[in-house]
Structures are given as structure tokens and as C-alpha cells.
Structure 1
Amino acid sequence: MTRTPFEIHIATQDHLSEIAYLARRIWHQCYPGIISREQIEYMLARMYSEPTLARDLAQGVTYYRLLHGERPAGFAACGPDACGHGQAWLHKLYVLAEHQGRGAGRALIERACADAAAAGHRLMLLRVNRENTRAIRAYQRCGFSLRETRCDDIGGGFVMDDYILQRRL
């Protein structure tokens, strides 16, 4: 496998503002044309406030920081399925546009999958917006396949219209 110019580190409480900043920047690069600006803002406020990120950490979600040199380039989050069943969820995976297509996303996926397998999980699950065809293709190249389709009301008049993808670990 080709070595990427990226490093991956486990995030701590001290990195939550960095993750919130990256989320805002990346979502505004990625989601226009897929979901409305209003839904982007709603979901950022709901999912990426520092208290929400801190709660995730307290509940056992691991955040991974992707660094290019010493500069933040992206992040991922992974945690066990709330119901158990030997499954883990790749809750988040975001890479700045200027670093996409260079192995950064794959490196984050492989790290999260390796850590989940080491923790005894047999399956990695993720949600991806059904209109995010670029991300879907990237996940498929990393061994994920379609498990189901979900459309969930998330409040504020918005829905998450997603595919659930899975990969055996």
C-alpha cells in the first residue's frame, strides 16, 4: 500500500474546537447541492457543538484527527453499536476537499476498522446520504456494501435520507 503524507491521532477534549471548525468547513464544501444550506446549518448545530462532541467522547466514541504535516486535514469518529451485536459504527468521516483523492479517507477508514476489529467487532456500519455519490463510490472501493436504505426524521422539518453500508472486519 502506498504511504500517505498523513498522520492519524486519537482526538482528546482539547481537539473538539478543531473538529467543530473542520466540520463546518468541510460540510460547506461537501453538502451544497445535496442538502439545503438550512439543513447543513441545522445538522452542524445539532451534531458538532463542542458539548455534543464531548458527550460523544464520554459515551465511548473515538475521534481520529487526520493531520497533513502539523495541519488538521480531516477527522473520523467510530464507536460501538448501542445494541451491541459485535458491530461498530463509523459515525463520521470528513476530509478537506484539497486532501481528497490522496488516500486520506482510506487511511481513516482502515485505522477505524483495525481498532474496531481489535476491540472484537465483526462488522463496521456507516450512514451516507443517498445523493453523495462520490462518498458512496469511495466507501465501496474500501470494501463497504449496501445493507439497507433509511429515511429518518431529524427534526426541524429535515430528514436524513441515507444508505446504511457495511463492511466485515
Structure 2
Amino acid sequence: MSDDSRTPEPGDHAGQGEPAPLLDELLCFSLYAASRAVTGAYRPLLEPLGLTYPQYLVLVALGEHGTMTVKDLVAALQLDYGTVTPLIKRLETNQLLERRRRTDDERVVEVALTPEGTALHRHIASVPPAIGDAIGLAPEEIATVQGLLRRLTANVHRHTAGAGG
């Protein structure tokens, strides 16, 4: 009987010689699990406010930048139009932001917080400290993780852009 007919062992690529990666060894899985854990920590803080995590991010971006074009908001959130547009519509329905076309170029849509959105933005200032407590890292550790994640993101964007993706 040849080696190719053997039953593959766990972690084996069906006899190809290279072991398959283990779940806990995959950086992508560690990032995914951490992301789910952190965004899950936001849920009990945001649900009473009637916000989802992506809607929260829109409020944070608009609170930081003021009036933004949809294009700039898409770029800031690193999301696509198909994801951001429903967020904007839902927040507008809830009277937390307003959309308007620029008078000098009607193709450009701007979004800004309403007075209700501004009040809610002030209220959500308590969220980051609560999340910081849940994360349980020292401020310098958080800064290190953020720096590494920003570098990782930039590297992947550069790599995929260079590969035509």
C-alpha cells in the first residue's frame, strides 16, 4: 500500500506532506475571535441607545469630523457604499443625522448629525472607557495593538492592491 492511500492524520493535507494549519495558529482566526469579542462587548452598551455597532461608528465619525460626504464617510469607516447607505438611511429615519445634496454639486451627498444625533454622540462618550475596562489592557498595550493592527491593515491593502485586488 502506498503512502498516498493512508488515512490523513489531523492537520495533514490528505497525504500531501504539509500539515494543515491548526485553528489556534491562524492569525486570521485570532483577529476574527478578538473582533467578535470586542464588538460583542459593545452590544449591551449600545442596545439601550437603539444603536448597532456600525451605527455607533457612523456617529463617532460624524462627531469627530462634523459634516462629511458619503464618500468620505465610506473611506473613514473602511466600508463600502452598500453597507454605509443603509446605515445612513436608518440613522436618518431615527432623526440622528440628515442627508443633503451640496448646492455647488448635486451629485455629492453630505451627512451631518442632527441636534438629537449630537446629544446622543455626547452620551456615547461613556462607551470607550467601559470597553477599555472589558479589554483589560494598559493604555500603552492598547496603543501597541492599535499600531500593529493599523500596520497590518495597510500592509494587506498594499499587497492586495498590488495583486490587482
What TM-score results when the alignment is normalised by the length of structure 2? 0.28
| Higher fraction of strand | 1
What TM-score results when the alignment is normalised by the length of structure 1? 0.27
Which of the pair has more CA radius of gyration? 2
